[in-house]
Amino acid sequence: MARASRRDRVAAPLAWAAGVAAVALGAGLGELVAAVVSPSSSPVAAIGGALIDLAPPWAKDAAIALFGTGDKAALLTGIAIGMIVLAALAGWLEARVPPWGVVVVAAFGTGGAIIAVTRPGAGALAWLPAVVAGAVGAVALGLLVRMLRPRPAETPAAPAGTESDPQERTGAETRRLVPAHDGVSHPPSAPADPREPAASPPSRRAFFAWAGAATAVGVLAIAIGGLRTTASAGVAAARRALRLPEPRMAASPAPAGAELDLPGLARVVTPNDRFYRIDTALIVPELDPADWRLRIHGMVAHEVELTWDELLALPLQESWTTLTCVSNEVGGDLIGNARWLGYPVRELLARAVPDADADMVLSRSIDGFTASTPLEALTDARDAILAVGMNGEPLPLEHGFPVRMVVPGLYGYVSATKWVVDLEVTRFDRATAYWTTRGWSARGPIKLESRIDVPRRGQGLKAGEVVIAGVAWQQQVGIDAVEVRIDEGEWRPATLAAAISDDTWVQWSMPWAADKGDHVIQCRATSKAGEVQTDEVAPPAPDGATGWHWRTVSVF
């Protein structure tokens, strides 16, 4: 391609616009193809998933600390911004040193395809959306930047209809569609002097029309593809149609008085739609119960396989367990309590008969996530279950439908595998779980913690009688007492609400005669084992945060 002279250089903002429009169109069509092929093959999801897996532990920690359960939206926004910047850069490259912009876009498509096929659970066509995205983006970029260049007049316009090169044809169509150009004093397109043909100036209006159309189609396609992906029609419908069997052993209802019912205090039973969600899955895996299989293997005498129907035919039992994330900061809300319905993992392991020297079960999700749970926690008397129900309904898709693990007393990252399909009986010195390879502890017993919920942060308080209330937990151990102190004065005992069980959090409250001024409220719990919650401040990594929760309030 001829080097553009200085005079007919494409203005940089137009080149950026060409890049963004081309990539929007490519990415949009890629998302559409992904919606048809399989949601998790979406190039954006594949790249996001890879970023999540490759991110250093401090980055995951920072993301969760900053955005909480909005971490995925934040990541997607970041990817979108990154793509726009790269797209603009590709447009600029294509204008200045063609065909390098096209090459860059095609290379990103190829890279995205490679990432998509190497994601866990990738289907046979996982490469297709990214290839479509890259190819469409590259061709569109070439065409759009071409429209920004003056056409040498001596090149005869191709006769319409016989042209085979699509690039040429679009150019020809453009000429026909938009005969006028930007209206400034350009020389007429027919050269005055036949020996010195003037270049015909590019039509900016045509460019904007095509670039705008490409962007609009791209954005629309992303929206449609995204909708299809989140609606996950088939599996969501299968879930809605499901009726779970009655438990053989029902959990006793939460005792009267377990719920203090104070505005601002976390409900003792967390509604499913308010339950925190933490996982590495940008796109919620769609696992049809009819296709679900659990394989128990590794260091066992007998391999065990279980289908959905077989699981539901077993005597299911209910249990209350409060789930907690290791990334929960002191005072954080990555914790929730539910009534789970499931089958004891202990019973399934008894069928498999683990080898005497096995000490760990590596549970694996359909999306590749793994958790290392001490074998003992799955064989002792606690309610470690393969859960199918949550608060009286099938598991919500984002909480692991159709089957997940729930193990009281352990942080989620070492126990609560969602969309679980595989249990490998092994040893801690032979296998390593997802977060352990990223610097988190291989074992994660939940630490003794307590939290102040009310008065709420920034809540204006009138002097007089005020209620301080919150929650405290150490699953498997239980809470014996919570104390509160104001302005580092004496620790005074709070009143514990009735506990559902030692595997759940418990609410607490204390009346306080508040006088005017700024005050600091602190709380600490004592476990049934006699442990007093430490004031030693530890961050979430590598095995859970510690310290006292405190809150400052202003009383008027």
Ligand X SMILES: Nc1nc2c(c(=O)[nH]1)N[C@H]1C(S)=C(S)[C@@H](COP(=O)(O)O)O[C@H]1N2
Which of the residues 354 through 413 are near Mo ion (CB under 5 A)?
412-413
The C-alpha angle 503, 420, 282, rounded to 5 degrees, equals 100
Q: Supply the minimum distance, in Å, between the C-beta of residue 327 and ligand X.
A: 7
Residue of the chain from 320, 369, 508, 548 that contacts ligand X (CB under 6 A) = 369
Nearer to ligand X among residue 417 and residue 426 (C-beta): 417
Would you count residue 365 as binding ligand X (CB under 6 A)? yes
Q: Supply the minimum distance, in Å, between the C-beta of residue 414 and Mo ion.
A: 9
The secondary structure element, H or E, covering residue 513 is: strand 506-514
Would you count residue 280 as binding ligand X (CB under 6 A)? yes
Cα–Cα distance measured from residue 16 to residue 22, given in angstroms and rounded to the nearest whole number = 10
Nearer to ligand X among residue 140 and residue 416 (C-beta): 416
User: Is 385 in contact with 392 (CB distance < 8 Å)?
Assistant: no
Q: Could you tell me the two tokens for 502?
A: 């030692």
User: Which residue number places its CB atom closest to ligand X?
Assistant: 412
Would you count residue 418 as binding ligand X (CB under 6 A)? yes
Q: Supply the minimum distance, in Å, between the C-beta of residue 328 and Mo ion.
A: 8
| Cis-peptide, bond into residue 99, ω within 30° of zero | yes
Cα–Cα distance measured from residue 405 to residue 544, given in angstroms and rounded to the nearest whole number = 20
Would you count residue 435 as binding Mo ion (CB under 5 A)? no
Please tell me the count of residues contacting Mo ion according to CB under 5 A. Answer: 4
Residue of the chain from 276, 308, 340, 508 that contacts ligand X (CB under 6 A) = 276
Residue type, 412: G
Cα-Cα-Cα-Cα torsion 508, 511, 516, 517, nearest 10 degrees, comes to -20
Cα–Cα distance measured from residue 543 to residue 405, given in angstroms and rounded to the nearest whole number = 20
User: Is 80 in contact with 145 (CB distance < 8 Å)?
Assistant: no
Would you count residue 222 as binding Mo ion (CB under 5 A)? no
Cα–Cα distance measured from residue 347 to residue 327, given in angstroms and rounded to the nearest whole number = 31
Burial 245-255 (b: 16+ CB within 10 A, else e): eebeeebeebe
Nearer to ligand X among residue 127 and residue 419 (C-beta): 419
Q: Could you tell me the two tokens for 352?
A: 């498999």
Residue of the chain from 146, 339, 399, 451 that contacts ligand X (CB under 6 A) = 399
Would you count residue 278 as binding ligand X (CB under 6 A)? yes
Would you count residue 278 as binding Mo ion (CB under 5 A)? yes
Residue of the chain from 140, 206, 296, 325 that contacts Mo ion (CB under 5 A) = 325
Quick note: the x/- pattern for ligand X over 312-331, rule CB under 6 A, is: -----------x-x------
Residue type, 109: G
Q: Supply the minimum distance, in Å, between the C-beta of residue 450 and ligand X.
A: 19
311 binds, among Mo ion, ligand X, none (CB under 5 to 8 A by kind): none
Nearest to 289 by CA among 273, 319, 304, 311: 311
**549 pairs with which residues across the strands?**
523
Residue of the chain from 169, 205, 267, 277 that contacts ligand X (CB under 6 A) = 277
Only one of the segments 60-68, 75-83, 218-226, 409-417 lies at the binding site for ligand X (rule: CB under 6 A); that segment is: 409-417
Rounded to a whole number of angstroms, the distance between the first and last alpha carbons of the chain is 75
User: Is 124 in contact with 164 (CB distance < 8 Å)?
Assistant: no
Nearer to ligand X among residue 225 and residue 285 (C-beta): 285
Kindly list the residues in this chain that would bind ligand X in the complex (CB under 6 A): 275-281, 323, 325, 365, 367, 369, 399, 412-413, 416-419
Kindly list the residues in this chain that would bind Mo ion in the complex (CB under 5 A): 278, 325, 412-413
